[in-house]
Structure 1
């Protein structure tokens, strides 16, 4: 992991803030599922959290102090077999993690000492649950093997309330919300498109358009597509 400082619209690498994650180097068909997934920062800026997907089946929590310094080694939170893939913070400051191994969403409390405490794990009932995005007090998980979004409302008691599933184009992968959190955009990697949804006050989604951009030779020529593992389950993967 490499730290950067933003100065006048430019990123300047901080050479003292390079951290090894201690993960094995994997190449070939499993490279995508065995590399680090996502980096998120706690709302108060005190910790930096890395998902390790199948490479470590863990969450790595680095403490942050001073201007931009990180602790030398992380606190390792074991998530054996669940394949923590992507993460987002809910409106209560809890960490919600998309777990591709168990096709679930796990909720963690961030505690002093850069520790995480598991509060809840809820199965989505979908396949290849890999990405997650927050919008309007809710979060939505992309299910690459089911071509769907699974929606949940974040409750104060940490038990997410299901909002149902919304169909997307084939190969549902990464998603992003607009700054006002009224719309979310979802990449559908198998068909090379982006689906746009309006977020209602009750968290329901209404599809408003599908865009199929013209990509150059270096963009979606490599796109995310659900592949079957040797156990017959779909998994998230990069495909050329």
Structure 2
């Protein structure tokens, strides 16, 4: 059985799991409470646990996904001390979250018990709202600056090194870019 994760926009304190059977999602989600307000985006780590950003307190929390679709919190949440973490993606076992409100990128590593630990952040252009990974690279959409920035990810320690920046993109607030994908 494969699962897709979607956060609840109604309550802002719940996460919904839609089990997939035969390639089709279930008609109703399995709803679990989130550890913190405003669950936003998630990614599965190498152990199969869900790392979920929570924009309210600026945290990432690890959840175990049970076979019935329920989620349970693993340990405590990790705060990066920044503002409004949105998207989270994984590259080579390192996990990165964009902080739209503080214009940077935080790195999270899984601790020995699976609990995420916040690491150093890299600076970004204004308003990083989305990102995607491709190979050993991380690409960040910066809506406040109308740019996309590319970073090489050091596979050993997860450090980010900026390798490119695309400027002159359509303004976000004028019908410009919304989302990014990498192939």
1:64 is aligned to 2:20: yes
- Hey, what does 1:115 align to over in structure 2? 70
Name which one, 1 or 2, has greater alpha-carbon Rg: 1
Q: How many residues align?
A: 176
- Hey, what does 1:139 align to over in structure 2? 95
Residues 94, 206 of structure 1: alpha-carbon distance in 2 compared, 3 angstrom cutoff: same
1:126 is aligned to 2:64: no
1:196 is aligned to 2:125: no
| TM-score, normalised relative to structure 1 | 0.67
Conserved in 1, the CA contact under 8 Å of 2:37 and 2:55?
Answer: yes
1:161 Cα shift? 3.3
| TM-score, normalised relative to structure 2 | 0.86
- Hey, what does 1:221 align to over in structure 2? 174
- Hey, what does 1:187 align to over in structure 2? 141
Distance in 1 (alpha carbons) for counterparts of 2:25 and 2:126:
39
- Hey, what does 2:40 align to over in structure 1? 85
Conserved in 2, the CA contact under 8 Å of 1:54 and 1:83?
Answer: no
Conserved in 1, the CA contact under 8 Å of 2:104 and 2:122?
Answer: yes
Distance in 1 (alpha carbons) for counterparts of 2:165 and 2:175:
20
Among 118, 125, 129, the alignment partner of 1:162 is: 118
List 4+ stretches of structure 1 deviating above 4 A: none
Distance in 2 (alpha carbons) for counterparts of 1:81 and 1:159:
15
Alignment of 1:4-153 (within 5 A): 45-53=1-9, 55-65=11-21, 67-79=22-34, 82-119=37-74, 120-153=76-109
Unaligned runs of 5+ in 2: 178-183
- Bigger mean CA deviation after superposition, 206-215 or 164-173: 206-215
SS in 2 for 1:165: strand
